[in-house]
Amino acid sequence: MFDNAIFATAADDLCRFGRILYGRGWSPATSSNYSIRIDANHCALTSSGKHKGELTPADILVVNMAGEAQTDGKPSAETLLHTQLYQRDASIGAVLHTHSPVGVVLSQIWPDDVLTLQGWELQKAFAGETTHEDTVHFPIFANDQNITRLAANVEQHMQNAGQGHAYLIRGHGVYTWGKDIHECFRHLEALENLLGYQLELLKLRNL
């Protein structure tokens, strides 16, 4: 069982942030998926195939940590990428997955499996980052329709290299997380801008 009042609040928050993310151009059409933890065993999640600029509470469902629906609605095919994060870190309270143009393009053209950034003041928007002099690392995973396998690859990487703040999937988009939806959105907004800076640098260097 889960707390219906907490679920209702989470559903409202997901609808509100869905409109924000759609308005930013980061979640076009029915792409992307978002979730908020309800308790240790459940999270609220956007249903599959819903337009993110037009979400209503009826478009949000509850899933358990096995990715199984506990209320009406069809879970996203990528649900296990959300539950993988919730299961590994009890402090994670929200996960946002978006398909922004800059995230998709940069992940597709970046030659390495990790995007490393240093020297940007905006790095301090990530929880625990206190100086632009540090480096922040964002792994880039190959896109894979086998989500169980992809989630296992993400978990293995985090066990070996640390959890970090976000990761990219080539030609697909980004995943970010935080202690709550507000911190998660801050991380996403910072990441989107940092990716934009990096993409602009690449353009200028190739002039």
Residue numbers belonging to the annotated binding site for Zn(2+): 97, 99
Which residues lie below 8 Å from residue 123, measured CB to CB, with a gap of 6+?
A: 117, 129, 131, 132, 134, 136, 190, 194
Q: Which two tokens stand for residue 64?
A: 């358990």
| Cβ–Cβ under 8 Å, residues 23 and 55 | no
Q: How far apart are CA 199 and CA 123, in angstroms?
A: 16
- Enumerate long-range contacts of 83-90, CB under 8 Å, 24 or more apart: 83/43, 83/151, 84/151, 84/154, 84/155, 85/175, 85/177, 86/35, 86/37, 86/43, 88/155, 88/158, 88/163, 89/163, 90/40
Of 135, 130, 172, 178, nearest in space to 17 by CA? 178
Q: Which residues are annotated as a binding site?
A: 97, 99
Q: How far apart are CA 174 and CA 184, in angstroms?
A: 12
Give the helix ranges, DSSP H, for 25-170.
79-88, 101-109, 147-161
Of 39, 185, 158, nearest in space to 88 by CA? 158
